[in-house]
Amino acid sequence: MRNHGEVTAFCAARQIGFVVIGPEAPLVDGLADSLRGAGLSVFGPSRAAAQLEGSKGFTKDLCERAGIPTAGYVRAASLAEARTALDRFSPPYVLKADGLAAGKGVVIAQYREEADAALADMFGGQFGEAGAEVVIEEFMQGEEASFFALTDGAIILPFGGAQDHKRVGEGDTGPNTGGMGAYSPAPILTPELRGEVMNRIVAPTVRALADEGMPYSGVLYAGVMLTADGPKLVEYNCRFGDPECQVLMMRLESDLGEYLLACAESRLGTMPPLKLSPQTALTVVMAANGYPGTPEKGGAIEDIEAAEATGARVFHAGTALDPSGRLIAAGGRVLNVTALGADTAEAQANAYAAVDLIDFPTGFCRRDIGWREIEREQAG
């Protein structure tokens, strides 16, 4: 990570007055505090508030203090402590490295032996510092959805919902990834459920952090499990998700910059509600062969223009230009091919029509993004 002084100097040299911090690592590292200290306006939470993503144990304790519905849990700071705590849980066992682990710090184990081995790996340094402490949780049954809100620490503006597809393979099989595709809205988050998530999860979190002297300013991404007992918090992210961000932006009709600045300047209360298109946006991630293991680098990509001529938008995630100026793959998740439609089925058809025009022989994508919702649409 770049030194905070370097970033501050860069902003000063170019007379930059407003900074939007995207990813979690610099937020958890306190870059927002450093830039605010230098007199800049910043979109993104302080180091203290970013603990919501940076420490699973911090968030679980906060939920307990504020009465926010989430899975029961135990924090453990040593392998012996964790093994003893595990006796109180029944399978499947949910084990989480406390700190940031790029989405790889969660293990769901069916058997005790598997859980013991995973704990040994975590405390053995598999995730470095992130695994110095572990959270063990009750397993929650249900469907997952994501809910987004902007807040300046006092006012909260809902930003809609989305659903991601975390597994690499069709039918939600294979290893976990950062996300292979998403859609928004997520009709499973009915207006009633969105109200519950706001009132029972997001608002009490914002209030508790403010009361405890660490007001949260930025975007709050609540991952929730829709259980038989109502929505429960799975985790918080202190950023727009990837690929959830792409579908939210595709639907956004308000001026994003105005809202981010209003958050930074603590005047979200002066802004009208965000306007989102009633259409559905769906994005398909095109990844490089090998992902989520070792992705093949350098594969040529052509015909993005043809895909965009259909009305789709192709967001670049892991691309580069080679010395001759050709577009090539330079990461795991390479492109997000995103389209709108009247419903999920139409948005899916539009997105895949664009995908099929892109020439990326060393890449792949899931062909079933949106399947749960489309099944529900077809069931009527």
Note the residues at the interface with ligand AMP (CB under 6 A). Answer: 71, 94, 96, 106, 137-140, 144, 223, 234-235
CA diameter of the chain: 60
Q: Which does 315 bind (CB under 5 to 8 A by kind): ligand AMP, ligand GLY, none?
A: none
Nearer CB in complex with ligand GLY: 133/242: 242
Rounded to a whole number of angstroms, the minimum distance from the CB of residue 179 to ligand GLY is 3
* Sheet of 73-76, strands arranged across: 73-76, 134-137, 93-97, 106-109
- DSSP secondary structure of 273-303: PPPB-SSEEEEEEEEETTTTSSPPP--B-B-
Q: Which does 308 bind (CB under 5 to 8 A by kind): ligand AMP, ligand GLY, none?
A: none
In the complex, the residues that contact ligand GLY under the rule CB under 6 A are 103, 164, 178-179, 237, 241-242, 244
Rounded to a whole number of angstroms, the minimum distance from the CB of residue 57 to ligand GLY is 18
Nearer CB in complex with ligand AMP: 234/287: 234
Question: Which residues does 53 contact at the CB level (< 8 Å), separation at least 6?
Answer: 24, 27, 28, 100, 235, 236, 237, 238, 239
Question: Which residues does 275 contact at the CB level (< 8 Å), separation at least 6?
Answer: 252, 253, 254
Rounded to a whole number of angstroms, the minimum distance from the CB of residue 94 to ligand GLY is 17
Rounded to a whole number of angstroms, the minimum distance from the CB of residue 101 to ligand AMP is 8
Q: Which does 94 bind (CB under 5 to 8 A by kind): ligand GLY, ligand AMP, none?
A: ligand AMP
Nearer CB in complex with ligand GLY: 40/50: 50
Q: What does DSSP assign to residue 165?
A: -
Rounded to a whole number of angstroms, the minimum distance from the CB of residue 352 to ligand AMP is 25
Nearer CB in complex with ligand AMP: 178/363: 178
Q: Which does 178 bind (CB under 5 to 8 A by kind): ligand AMP, ligand GLY, none?
A: ligand GLY
Structural contact between residues 221 and 238, judged by C-beta atoms closer than 8 angstroms = yes
- Secondary structure string (H, E, C) spanning 29-69: CCHHHHHHHCCCEEECCCCCCCHHHHCHHHHHHHHHHHCCC
Please state, in angstroms and rounded to a whole number, the distance separating the CA atoms of residues 338 and 353.
10
- The token pair at 325 is 């100026």
Please state, in angstroms and rounded to a whole number, the distance separating the CA atoms of residues 254 and 123.
46
Nearer CB in complex with ligand GLY: 25/155: 25
User: 73 by DSSP, 3-state: which?
Assistant: strand
Q: Which does 242 bind (CB under 5 to 8 A by kind): ligand GLY, ligand AMP, none?
A: ligand GLY
Nearer CB in complex with ligand AMP: 33/235: 235
